[in-house]
Chains A and B, each alone.
Chain A
Amino acid sequence: MGEMTMVQAINDALRVALKTDPQVLILGEDVGKNGGVFRATDRLWSEFGEERVIDTPLSEAGIIGTSIGLAINGFKPVSEIQFLSFIYPGFEQIVSHVARLRTRTQSAFPNQLVIRAPYGGGIRAPELHCDSTEIFFVHVPGLKVVTPSTPTDAKGLLLAAISDPDPVIYLEPMKLYRSQKEVVPSGWYEVPIGQARKVRDGEDITLITWGAMVPIAVETASKWEKEGTSCEVIDLRSLYPLDEETILSSVKKTGRAIVIHEAPRTGGLGAEVAALIQEKAFLYLEAPVIRVTGYDVPVPMFALEDDFRPNLNKVSQAIHQVITY
């Protein structure tokens, strides 16, 4: 047991999975000898050999498509797409095949695979590396979608994804890869998919978020605590399926909710969460559910990324709006 960053915790989860389950394979671009561009697969190639940690040609459709062929023969491929923004050549494989293989074969074959991808902004990455397109995958029936915000959750969620009988899209917020270190349990443990985490207790308002926006929600909550407003912060962790119970019980307690996400506003997951709240907790609401999101514009190059992303100021404006409604 030692202190780990999120990327180290992901590495540890992969190592534990490779050690524990001989069916687990790792595939991707630069995942082998190089150990991944973020070092998520560091040293796994030398430890487990090139038949289990596989440098593939540069081809997202190839990586995801062949993962299906491996999975229906009992392997459990954990593929890495180098950046979520580069997943699109593989998108057809995901939408038309990964997601509906179970339905189309009426569960005739296993399809236990995980697709990992770093996503989101805030690290001054080059152009076209920073989109938060989680909603694309949430919207496709047949996929589970998860994203951690702490090292401990990162490891537990990844192991849960690997042992899940259904395909899981596992999204890694780049901004949090090395932002925090904590003691992470050793060995195999799982954070159940479908369970949100209450990050902070509060009475007046519920901030619902995930991934790299969690620290911003917490920072804002601390600031408002001093102003006399108490915010509860919920990290969804599982974007599909949603933990309705945790969301609704919190909103029923506070009567106010703000959803924060980095992705553009229109058609984002915030809209789904807001709809869920008004459908199932309408009579408890003291104010409309507000969204704080990226703008409906292409994710900018990094000179403007701080202006694009939600921040303390933007969340504070929303809190002010909700409590003075």
Chain B
Amino acid sequence: MLDQLEKEIVQYLTPEGKLTSVGELAWGEIPTDLKKQFFQWMTQIRIFDRKMILLQRQGRIGTYAPLEGQEAAQVGSALALSQDDWVFPSYREHGVALIMGMPMQQVILYWAGRVEGCRPPKGVRLMPPAVPIATQIPHAVGAAWAAKLRRESYVSVAYFGDGATSEGDFHEGCNFAGVFRLPAILFCQNNGYAISVPFSRQSASATVAEKASAYGFPGVCIDGNDVLAVFVTMSEAIQKARSGQGPTLIEAVTYRKGAHTTADDASRYRPSDEVEEWIYRRDPLVRYSLLLQQDGCLTKAEMEEWEEECMQKVEKAVKIAESFPKADATHLFAHVFDSLPPSLEQQKEALQHLEGGYPWEK
């Protein structure tokens, strides 16, 4: 996994918090407000993520897919998007979902097994998490196709992991995107492992990015823990897509600091020196905080204040989610069809009738 960073990779901010020469140029052009937002969102997402793990351990939600370590990849890419753009996430993109406007309590509800957590508010073009692998990629490409056919300027993003690149749907989605030259961004967070299987076992190619050339569009491999590289690369890809220059495949090389899900034990398959390297030396938030402090954009006190605010936001969202009305059994039949066929009406009635108790109690 560390050898991936020896590949040719776009980096603006080093793990030590220093801007590279391209980074210096970019930094000068980013408005202060956005510089703060990078920090604020990464912090918000990390605090949310840690709380979710805690809720799972306490039995208050079900199995959860943690994202810690991938904040820069999610924040840098999502903050480059506009409200009109479509997002097709996998199951680890809670950060992206929150940035796109999904209320936090709904993300919590989703992991608490409530289907209500899938539905975005009006005006948020975000699909529910794709649980099967790579299936969302062709959807994103189809949404990009709709933009092209309608001469609209939105772009469409598919978020997926390194494992997804082994599925047929990845190939088929990329192929359509290339053939029809669609305004799609294929955003791969290569965190090195598909559950336990390392990328070297997923693909014999050195990078995900290079696969793009076979589909006839550009692929870029970037340091996914460098929020600036992610933001700038994503912004360029969006710009190209909006101006009719077709799709881009972005490979953000990153690492999930924790397990695949709360049901997984990553220590079974990842060497501890590798994990430590990523946790202690390559953390996306630490390196960005160092830069902000050096730059004077945010003081340590302001950062701590923001952390406190984030914690309160999370607590509030948990409270709202947990006071959500209990799921009603008849909701099984809601939103299955536009109108229920007679056989389903009968099944619904039978379910309601059940609540009368056991036959021997009558």
Interface residues of A (CB under 8 A from B): 29-30, 32-35, 37, 55-62, 85-86, 88-89, 124-129, 227, 265-266, 295-298, 300-305, 307-308, 313-314, 316-317, 319-320
Q: B176 within 8 Å of A by Cβ?
A: no
Interface residues of B (CB under 8 A from A): 62-63, 65, 91, 110-115, 129, 131-133, 163-164, 166-169, 194-197, 201-203, 261, 263-264, 268-269, 327, 329, 331-333, 336, 343-344, 347-348, 351, 353-354, 357-360
Please classify the interface of chain A as helix (H, G, I), strand (E, B), loop, or mixed, using the class held by over half of its residues: loop
9 new A-B contacts at CB < 8 Å, known A303-B113, A317-B359: A57-B197, A58-B202, A61-B167, A89-B167, A126-B63, A295-B348, A297-B333, A297-B344, A301-B114
- For residue B266, which residue of chain A has the nearest CB? A34
| Chain B residues, CB < 8 A from A297 | 332-333, 336, 344
Q: In the complex, A303 Cα to B113 Cα: how many Å?
A: 5
- For residue A295, which residue of chain B has the nearest CB? B347
List, sorted by A's number, 11 A–B pairs whose CB atoms are closer than 8 Å.
A35-B268, A57-B166, A57-B197, A60-B167, A89-B169, A295-B344, A296-B347, A297-B333, A303-B114, A317-B354, A320-B359
| Inter-subunit contact B62/A129 (CB<8 Å) | no
- For residue B360, which residue of chain A has the nearest CB? A227
| Chain A residues, CB < 8 A from B112 | 303
| Inter-subunit contact A300/B332 (CB<8 Å) | yes
| Inter-subunit contact B269/A34 (CB<8 Å) | yes
| Inter-subunit contact B332/A33 (CB<8 Å) | no
| Inter-subunit contact B115/A301 (CB<8 Å) | yes
Q: In the complex, A127 Cα to B132 Cα: how many Å?
A: 10
| Inter-subunit contact B347/A61 (CB<8 Å) | no
**Shortest distance between the CB of A62 and any CB in chain B (Å):** 7
Q: In the complex, which of the residues B110, B111, B263, B354 contacts A313, with contact meaning CB atoms closer than 8 Å?
A: B354
| Chain B residues, CB < 8 A from A128 | 131-132
Q: In the complex, which of the residues B62, B129, B196, B354 contacts A314, with contact meaning CB atoms closer than 8 Å?
A: B354
| Inter-subunit contact A308/B201 (CB<8 Å) | no
- For residue A323, which residue of chain B has the nearest CB? B359
**Shortest distance between the CB of A28 and any CB in chain B (Å):** 10
| Chain A residues, CB < 8 A from B111 | 126
| Inter-subunit contact B131/A126 (CB<8 Å) | yes
**Shortest distance between the CB of A119 and any CB in chain B (Å):** 15
